[in-house]
Structure 1
Amino acid sequence: MIFGLSLGCSLATVSFASNDQFKDALTASNSGNTALLDQYALAMQNDVLGYYPEYFKLNADLVMQSPNSIIQFAQKYPQSAMAEKLAADYVEEKAKVMMFADAVPVLPYVTNPDRSESCAVAQTRAQTGDPLVFAEYRDLWLSTNSMPDLCLGLTRMMLNSPLMTTEDKQQRLWTQLRAGQIGLATSVAQNLGVNITIAQLTQIQANPLGYLWSAPKNNAADYAYLIFALGRLSDSDLTAGLGAVNRAAEGVPADVQKYLYRTVAYIGGTTVLKNNFNRIILNYFDSSYGIPFSQEEAEIYARQAIRFGAWESLIRAISVMGVDQQREDRWQYWLARAYEQRQDDASKQQAKGIYQTLAQSGDDYHNLLAQEHVGETYSRFDQAQPTPSDVSMLNADINFNRAFALKAISAPALYSNREWNWAVRQAYLKQNDGLLLAAAQKAAAMGWYDRAIYAAERTVNKHNYALRYLTPHQTAVVLHSGNVGLDPAWAYGLMRQESRFVTTARSNVGAGGLMQIMPNTAKLVARQMGETYNPAALSDMNTNVRYGTYYLSMIQSQLSNNAVLATAGYNAGPNRALRWQPSDQNLVADQYVESIPIDETRNYVKNVMTNTIHYGAVLGQGKQYLSKWMKMIPLRTEQQQ
């Protein structure tokens, strides 16, 4: 270790080529000691981690680097994780300061950008006159969700593109007004020649209901203010918005009228946490049909239709989605569900064809649901093994070697995981299943479970489900699950989703351990079990599993002994899962799951249910089927309400 080296020390005092020097180089980088990084670059030049000192130095003042310095690094270390990361970050930094000419020559070295980097690439391409770039990013155009600054910058570029029609701009204006995005909306309005002001919008925002009672309806600016007022009213008081929409829609052009209904429908459909489910929201989505839908609007429309079993509305909602969106397994599954409800043979045959395609194309949530619709159960348990040549290939693979080297010295997971994910991606792109299986097997043997799963999941033709669905700590999981009457397949399914078996996992809200237990939950469980709560005990694998299985069993008993409700409750809290239960009639479980209003929880339940099926097979429980777990969702009882 050489933390104490002065800048004037000789290179001879530096101990040569050891992976451990990575940490010293990282410390030098964090302290801004670039002279010391030069020494490490020379000392580590023959090391598997030898490119890190060079990377740290270039990254220290990235925006000031020349394109050639980035390209030289990328060419010196081709197809490497940090070369791609450096190139992507460089393009991003240059886009932030609008130095696009420097970014252009680096673009070919960016192959796996995140969202912000992707928008930087798109801005750079747009500056070079690429006519296709805006068409590739149309999903951003109408998005009202938060997005990176560079993506906002890209949408501003799109606003001034001749490819965006007047209709495109009007839809963006109305969408932003509905969302209350005053600054963005006024920019679009100015581009369209619609005379709205921030001062007037601010005044309307202070009293939207008062404005609606006497709103003029004579021109494009009046219609814009009308949409804005209804959106602000509905956002603060949905009931008042629902009561005001019919009057607001009187005497305006048909497209404006439809968008007013769209406004209350979208806001109502995205505020279920606050307002619960309301059938009139779906009616207003139906009333708004006939003007373009954004991707966000179409999904909310579809989920409202699913919740209320409005199958023709669902077909309409899917029909207005983009082509790629429609092709997703989830929407193909729901299209089949809707066609199945029709009484004509042709529709039923269409449904059957979709189910058969989904049933044969994978083993994720919607594939498993489709399998049951065509009368299949699931018992797949492939156990392909890596060959000796696959292991030799792994030992020679520089990308995996970097990942294993970083893991061996307990380097920050930011670096070891990035190297691993990059190595997996390269093997996946080459469809090198043997390499992936060898890597997964080695990672699992050393207890690096989350990365083992990550690799095993990405095989294309040869699979090993014992690696995809690892069962570490099996004695404890089976024992504690059995003690509270839980199927260990479900416990494993939840644990895999919560932590991927990283015992030190910590969430941003304080949940910890294999089953990601919140401190307050642990206190409750300890009290219920007659134990004294000890915060340190949660870091113990055995205690974490014991508390987690007990809590899952406890909320299951509170939620009608229903696994779907309990799974949702484990993630979002039992009170929310209870609130989402139907109040008028029982609900099919897949409809309940798809209409969960929190994206994280909706995906969580799907993943846990899918995991559970696979773990049933891995644990030797025979044929598996989702309907075993996804029972009908009952009405809330009077006591629950």
Structure 2
Amino acid sequence: MKLPRILTLIVAAACAACQAQPRDDTILDMSQAFKQGNRQRLTQLLPAARGHALEPWAAYWELRARLDTASAQELQDFFTRYAGTYQEDRLRNDWLLLLGQRRDWTTFAAEHPKYRMNDDKEVRCYALLVGHLREGANAPASTSDEVRKLWFAQPREDDGCTLAASRLIGDVQGPKRMTAADAWRKARISLEANRPKAAGAAVEIAAPEAMGAFADLNAAPARFLTSRVTVASKMRKELIALALIKLAATDAQGAATQLDSKWGPQLSPEERNWVWGVLGKQAAQRLSYDALDYYGKVSRDGDLSDDMLAWKVRAALRSPQGPQWPLVIQAVNAMSDEAKLEPAWVYWKARALLAQGSEQHRADAQKMLQSIASVRGFYEQLALEELGQKVSVPARPAPVTAEEKEATRLNPTLNRALIAIAIGLRSEGVREWNYATNLHRNGGMSERELLAAAQFACDQQVWDRCINTSERTKAEFDIDQRYPTPFRDSVVKRAKDIGLDAAYVYGLIRQESRFIMDARSGVGASGLMQVMPATARWTARKIGLANFTADQITDRETNIAIGTGYLKLVLDDFDGSMPLAAAAYNAGPGRPRNWRNGPVLEAAMWAENVPFGETRDYVKKVLANTTMYAALLSGQPQSLKARLGTVGPRDASRAEPNKDLP
């Protein structure tokens, strides 16, 4: 791959003292050897990588591959040689995890203060445990609170947080601010998420003697519930709750019947509420009207998780009788303080208050809307419009100065990141770039430095780093960085030729690929518009693109032609609805055809009820992007609400949808 001129100069400068410049191939070979776990090959290649701009990566791969056998001196030599780099901190992160697994708390305590990223939850749990072991009964309540939060948030079983929770729950000498109830709650969270291993680990902490019964209920919940089960203890009640949660995943009606007719009265109110919350959430995700019936059996919303409460809000918005605004208020009020501040729930609670009609409710709603109103996201834009304003291009910040550009150009971490991206090591480059620009890191970048870094990426046409870095600024808003328009002639001309809104095309590309030409998803979608091979072949035939072959998907002009052609076909299939077409582009047309059935809804309500989290987020971001691009391209204020419209069942009088649309 040919490097941009500035990166070529950087590589040359980094290697000015070398007699023979190391080849990029050596680095790429080492990357491959690392992925394969080939320790011998890594050790063999490392000398040839010395002097390359990406030498820190080469040295990291070689030492990381044999970290379990490396000596303390080798580690310290690495930390000294590459002091201040991402690779130093990355290896220390890996080492801290290994020290925790080995229970080497003395070395862990000595090394942890040098760890700068501080973003690894498992390392944090180990650190909290070390503090607890050191302070004992004097450990602050915040230790238990943080361990509990981290443990609940970990989707899979991990050693660090499981160990910390186990010690805090079992420490009879300490303040014991965590109890077996926390372990049972973790088991419920994990089993609901279909993580039986993590659930089992939590049950073992709460009641080791229950592991046999847990294995039985996990294997056959219906049989477990119909066996001779007597609820005579807290442990047995919790096992029944877990069995009902497990059964609900495959037989929601059966679980509801058992809970209603047999087990509900015997469980505690908190256990009973949790299981009804699980059933309500699952029904809401199926877009079933049973959801509100299940939620209606919950006696106290405070017993539910934030995720259950979020789905209660969604079910209330989608009610066939119209939005159930009191239920929206009730659910949001029961959320954690952190969740209440999310723009989605601020917006919907404000809408619910406005629907109440009193002066006080309106005043409270206005304050809530004003707290989030801006052009920065979907609900922020909707809040802006609810306050009577449209979406306009914000005032641009002062241009990046020559001095700011020079300081950024000389930043070795940013340069190393761009070189890695340029030679095909995108994942490594992105991680290193994020490390350099992340605001939570000690001595993180100021807003002006972030703008300068974003501009550096823009100038190198590394659009994803340009956008993501600029998005981190809070006070400054550079629309040219956040919403760039590469390939403008091609995109605008193609959109105009086939009757598409160019802003919609840009909004979709920004979400799909961040303008990365060689982007490739885990499922095989390629190029700017992330087109699947089968979809590309089908679309090529439909739009009359002769002699198309699969290897043309990443060609820029071909990708734009096929992507826009498919988007136009999808948009027409959904009667011009941008939200439905965006959902179809992401999840395939069959699912949105089903999701649209039900009451006619504001499209924002419909989008919030999309069952797939990825697609729900995608639709909202594409439409918010589109509105900003429309303001940028037209120079005029724009309405997100106008683009959203409403969503409801297909008009039976209209032509049948294109059934072969992939």
Q: 1:321 aligns with which of 317, 332, 335?
A: 335
**Greater relative contact order, per chain length (Cα 8 Å cut-off, separation 6+):** 2
Task: Tell me the SS of whatever aligns to 1:236.
Answer: coil
Task: Tell me the SS of whatever aligns to 2:327.
Answer: helix
Q: Does residue 1:61 correspond to 2:70, yes or no?
A: no
Moved more, 556-565 or 58-67: 58-67
Task: Output the amino acid matched with 2:60.
Answer: Y
Asked whether the equivalents of residues 230 and 264 of structure 1 are also in contact (C-alpha less than 8 Å), the reply is: no
Moved more, 350-359 or 615-624: 615-624
Aligned CA distance change for structure 1 residues 485 and 182 (closer, same or farther; 3 Å): closer
Asked whether the equivalents of residues 27 and 54 of structure 2 are also in contact (C-alpha less than 8 Å), the reply is: no
Task: Tell me the SS of whatever aligns to 1:619.
Answer: helix
Count of residue pairs the alignment pairs up: 615
Aligned CA distance change for structure 1 residues 431 and 250 (closer, same or farther; 3 Å): closer
Q: Does residue 1:297 correspond to 2:292, yes or no?
A: no
Q: Does residue 1:550 correspond to 2:561, yes or no?
A: no
Q: 1:120 aligns with which of 108, 113, 123?
A: 123
Whole-Å Cα distance in 1 between the matches of residues 56 and 217 of structure 2?
Answer: 58
Instruction: State the Cα distance separating 1:217 from its structure 2 match.
Output: 4.3
Instruction: State the Cα distance separating 1:22 from its structure 2 match.
Output: 6.0
Whole-Å Cα distance in 2 between the matches of residues 355 and 386 of structure 1?
Answer: 32
Aligned CA distance change for structure 1 residues 477 and 179 (closer, same or farther; 3 Å): closer
Moved more, 455-464 or 390-399: 455-464
Q: Does residue 1:504 correspond to 2:518, yes or no?
A: yes
Q: Does residue 1:102 correspond to 2:116, yes or no?
A: no
Q: Does residue 1:279 correspond to 2:289, yes or no?
A: yes
Q: Does residue 1:602 correspond to 2:645, yes or no?
A: no
TM-score (norm 1): 0.86
**Number of the residue aligned with 2:222:** 208
Whole-Å Cα distance in 1 between the matches of residues 204 and 227 of structure 2?
Answer: 26
Percent identity at matched positions? 25
Aligned CA distance change for structure 1 residues 382 and 355 (closer, same or farther; 3 Å): same
Aligned CA distance change for structure 1 residues 138 and 582 (closer, same or farther; 3 Å): farther
**Number of the residue aligned with 2:463:** 449
**Number of the residue aligned with 2:431:** 418
Asked whether the equivalents of residues 227 and 263 of structure 1 are also in contact (C-alpha less than 8 Å), the reply is: no
**Number of the residue aligned with 1:16:** 18
Aligned CA distance change for structure 1 residues 156 and 358 (closer, same or farther; 3 Å): same
Query: Which runs of structure 2 are paired with 1:228-627 in the superposition (5 Å)?
Result: 228-249=242-263, 251-255=265-269, 256-269=271-284, 272=285, 276-290=286-300, 292-308=303-319, 309-360=323-374, 363-384=376-397, 385-407=399-421, 410=423, 412-425=425-438, 430-531=444-545, 532-583=547-598, 585-627=599-641
Asked whether the equivalents of residues 245 and 264 of structure 1 are also in contact (C-alpha less than 8 Å), the reply is: no
Instruction: State the Cα distance separating 1:166 from its structure 2 match.
Output: 4.6
Asked whether the equivalents of residues 567 and 605 of structure 1 are also in contact (C-alpha less than 8 Å), the reply is: yes
Instruction: State the Cα distance separating 1:537 from its structure 2 match.
Output: 1.8
Cα-to-partner distance string for 1:200-230 (whole Å, 9 max, x where unaligned):
7526853617844975444435433432343
Whole-Å Cα distance in 2 between the matches of residues 466 and 204 of structure 1?
Answer: 53
Instruction: State the Cα distance separating 1:612 from its structure 2 match.
Output: 1.0
Q: 1:111 aligns with which of 103, 109, 116?
A: 116
Task: Tell me the SS of whatever aligns to 2:94.
Answer: helix
**Number of the residue aligned with 1:223:** 237
Whole-Å Cα distance in 2 between the matches of residues 181 and 25 of structure 1?
Answer: 38
Task: Output the amino acid matched with 1:543.
Answer: T
Task: Output the amino acid matched with 2:427.
Answer: L
Whole-Å Cα distance in 2 between the matches of residues 494 and 580 of structure 1?
Answer: 20
Task: Tell me the SS of whatever aligns to 2:601.
Answer: coil
Asked whether the equivalents of residues 283 and 289 of structure 2 are also in contact (C-alpha less than 8 Å), the reply is: no
Aligned CA distance change for structure 1 residues 237 and 474 (closer, same or farther; 3 Å): same
Aligned CA distance change for structure 1 residues 174 and 496 (closer, same or farther; 3 Å): closer
Asked whether the equivalents of residues 481 and 488 of structure 1 are also in contact (C-alpha less than 8 Å), the reply is: yes
Aligned CA distance change for structure 1 residues 577 and 434 (closer, same or farther; 3 Å): same
Cα-to-partner distance string for 1:546-596 (whole Å, 9 max, x where unaligned):
11111111111222321011111111111111211142x211111111111
Q: Does residue 1:91 correspond to 2:96, yes or no?
A: yes
Task: Output the amino acid matched with 2:292.
Answer: L
Asked whether the equivalents of residues 19 and 48 of structure 1 are also in contact (C-alpha less than 8 Å), the reply is: no
Cα-to-partner distance string for 1:516-572 (whole Å, 9 max, x where unaligned):
011121122122223454111212111111111111111112223210111111111
Instruction: State the Cα distance separating 1:66 from its structure 2 match.
Output: 5.2
